[in-house]
Structure 1
Amino acid sequence: MSDYEGSKLAYGTGRLSGAAALDGIRAALRVLDAPATTPVGMSGFSGGSIATEFAAELAPAYAPELNIVGVTAGGMPVDMADTIDYVDGSPQWALVLPYVMQGSARGFDLDLSPYLSDYGRDVMAQIADHCVTNGPRFPGLRLSQLLSPEYQNYRSIPKFARILTENHMGDTGTPTAPLLFGAGNVDGIGDGVIVAAGERILATEYCHRGVSVQYDEYPGSNHLLAGVLFFPTARAFLLDRFAGTPFASGCSQLDR
């Protein structure tokens, strides 16, 4: 299992995480003295889906020697701006905001301090050495509280806009291995963190590029339950790919 956030703890940084995941696979194959033809599968949910999906996009150009036979990703923040809007002010999931903000800044070598309010700098100091799963939580936090008044429209800041653009899934490359995507939908929008339509759109776009994709949506499932439902399906999917079982693409259903 690769440490895809790297030494900077660059949580949420897509291309860096994808490359690190592929480097981790390379390292594992070397340690195992495994042949280059060894079949490889990748799987990730939520934060792990960022590394997994970007690794799938980068692999054809960055690691063409790897024999990737299947990729499963669930709870994917396809468009980080959509995720930010969705969790903004959420009693349960607003905690994601500062962690993604700080991790992305680390990954893009961006000094956040000029853009932050005094409260924002205090929050960033609190989470500096923590993971999102066990660090400080901020129920109902709003992005506007973290940013100073002159930077409330964060999308208009060129350095922020670059991060959003480069972290948008589907724009870095086209996977070649069969894909399984999974998304929860508890409120008609998504799972409380991830907008389900973003995953559906990305899956459909890959279908149009000739990639074999299966998209599963879990009605009534929040982010945590979606993860519980995703992993057994992901495991079965990858075992079938390792066994060489023919893959029945779900692209015809997505097109409808």
Structure 2
Amino acid sequence: MSENVDVASGWTAEETIPRPSSRWHRPQLPVDDPFYRPPAGFETLPAGTLLRSREVEIALLGLIPQKVHAWQLLYCTADLNGTPEASVTTVLLPADADAATARQRPLLAYQCAIDAISSRSFPSYALQRGSTSLGNVAPFELLIIANAVSRGWAVTIADHEGLGGYFGAPREPGYRVLDGIRASTDFAPLNLSRSTPVGVWGYSGGGMASSWVAEMAPEYAPEINIVGAVLGAPVGDPGQTYIRLNDTFFAGLPALVVAGLRHLYPGLGRVIESHVNDEGRARLDEIESMSTAWAIARFAGDDFDNYTDIPLADVLASPAVLELFDDIRLGSRRPACPLLVLQPVHDQIIDVEDVDGQVDRYNEFGANVTYVRDRISEHLSLMVLSTPTVLEWLTARFDGAPEPTGSTRTVWSTALSPTSLRGFLGMGKTALATLIGGTL
């Protein structure tokens, strides 16, 4: 693997697009990898400054190498409180990319559903050849991402939870993704610019992160040319999701959020220390090292009421928790770009009413929102079945088509339109190429 360091300017204009190296080694976990540690003095540099880059090999499920150009970028960004930090994004180009078409190439910021705290779940690790990320979502999302690469788009995939893996944190996923976009457009091998049209896309935990990107962009990175954002099952109200999922099959998901956010919110940490017993705190410690699937399986049916010395309802009504719930609720800012929001009516994880509320808040701000509610799909299936609709919508935004007029409608299935049926054929070809390690 090659590695380049240039704190001031990143790559030089003369740098050519190299082929992935034939030399390969098993990747280190991000928490152990020196690449993720920024150079001294980085705190004084502007947000989005490219600090370091290296070539990587991408493989489906860590096993099937993909014929695609891929790099990792370390760049300056900020955490929840605006404190400087460094983060990593993985950038992809089609294998047949060339300079002649680069200026017409858009950039897609794709947010994976990290939905865990362990760095084994981060896309920068999980998408690499040789990674072992069983039970996490990101390795499977390469099958979705490949459809964007096959259309000739550049793709940036940020570790939007940061090195701490704080699943559910507000605002900072937006900072990390937006600064990853800045670093990507400054990375010479991609041959992009700050005027490059940028699309945003994510589903579930990735849809929540994408919501923060859309909300924070007007204030934090108004110079980025975001032409549209797709928010798939974007959670809406994480606090209400916690209440609904506690004592259900998916109780591990809100436990992951609490386990991470207790490190960010001192008030929440004090509530846990005061009212959660030793067994409950041990469970929160345990879940920090788990994959998403293992956390769900391990804590299925868990009721946090069993680990508190006062009723859980009283814990949730404490000022520190109510303040936290208000802070993490989506829809407090007006996105400037057009939005496509997709949500299953019968979602077993994210209640449609919470996403209705997020969309209502955006509409009250005067945002341009196309909201599609799907009757037939459930949480996991809509991610796949809505992909043709998403790709066509993003293509129209990249091509400069007139912005759609905001609307809300409920359909039987996003998969039943003629455009979607045609799109599934293309998805099938791309999935086959991905499964056999073909050219994207």
Instruction: State the TM-score bracket (shorter-chain normalisation).
Output: 0.7 to 0.9
Is contact 2:372-2:409 (8 Å) kept?
no
Match of 1:156 in 2: 317
Answering whether residue 253 of structure 2 is matched by residue 96 of structure 1, we say yes
Is contact 2:331-2:359 (8 Å) kept?
no
Is contact 2:237-2:358 (8 Å) kept?
no
Match of 1:203 in 2: 359
Is contact 1:78-1:169 (8 Å) kept?
yes
| Larger Rg over CA atoms | 2
Match of 2:97 in 1: none
Answering whether residue 293 of structure 2 is matched by residue 141 of structure 1, we say no
Answering whether residue 175 of structure 2 is matched by residue 19 of structure 1, we say yes
Deviation at 1:184, TM superposition (A): 1.1
Match of 1:174 in 2: 334
> How many percent of aligned residue pairs carry the same amino acid?
29
Deviation at 1:151, TM superposition (A): 5.8
Alpha-carbon distance change, 74 to 252 in structure 1, aligned in 2, over 3 angstroms: closer
From 165, 176, 179, the equivalent of 2:326 is 165
| Higher mean C-alpha displacement, 50-59 vs 19-28 | 19-28
Deviation at 1:152, TM superposition (A): 4.6
Alpha-carbon distance change, 124 to 249 in structure 1, aligned in 2, over 3 angstroms: same
1:106-117 to structure 2, matched below 5 A, reads: 106-108=263-265, 110-111=268-269, 112-117=272-277
Distance (Å, rounded) in 2 between the aligned partners of 1:149 and 1:21 = 39
Is contact 1:42-1:71 (8 Å) kept?
yes
Distance (Å, rounded) in 2 between the aligned partners of 1:174 and 1:76 = 16
Distance (Å, rounded) in 2 between the aligned partners of 1:79 and 1:33 = 38
Distance (Å, rounded) in 1 between the aligned partners of 2:343 and 2:160 = 22
- What is the TM-score with the length of structure 1 in the denominator? 0.88
Secondary structure, aligned partner of 2:227: strand
Match of 2:229 in 1: 71
| TM-superposition CA deviations, 1:87-140 (whole Å, max 9, x none) | 12212x111121011122233355344442222112112212223244453111
Answering whether residue 285 of structure 2 is matched by residue 125 of structure 1, we say yes
CA RMSD of superposed structures (Å): 2.1
Deviation at 1:210, TM superposition (A): 2.4
Distance (Å, rounded) in 1 between the aligned partners of 2:282 and 2:229 = 39
Deviation at 1:252, TM superposition (A): 6.8
| TM-superposition CA deviations, 1:15-47 (whole Å, max 9, x none) | 121211212211211223522111111111111
Is contact 1:38-1:67 (8 Å) kept?
yes
Answering whether residue 374 of structure 2 is matched by residue 218 of structure 1, we say yes
Given residue 234 of structure 2, which amino acid in structure 1 is its aligned partner?
M
Match of 1:37 in 2: 195
Given residue 9 of structure 1, which amino acid in structure 2 is its aligned partner?
G
Is contact 1:151-1:157 (8 Å) kept?
no
Secondary structure, aligned partner of 2:286: helix
Answering whether residue 406 of structure 2 is matched by residue 245 of structure 1, we say no
Q: How many residue pairs align between the two structures? A: 248
Is contact 2:370-2:406 (8 Å) kept?
yes
Match of 2:208 in 1: 50
- Whose helix fraction is larger, Structure 1's or Structure 2's? 1
Match of 2:386 in 1: 230
Is contact 1:104-1:163 (8 Å) kept?
no
Given residue 49 of structure 1, which amino acid in structure 2 is its aligned partner?
G
Given residue 154 of structure 1, which amino acid in structure 2 is its aligned partner?
V
Secondary structure, aligned partner of 1:228: helix
Given residue 196 of structure 2, which amino acid in structure 1 is its aligned partner?
T
- Whose strand fraction is larger, Structure 1's or Structure 2's? 2
Match of 2:136 in 1: none
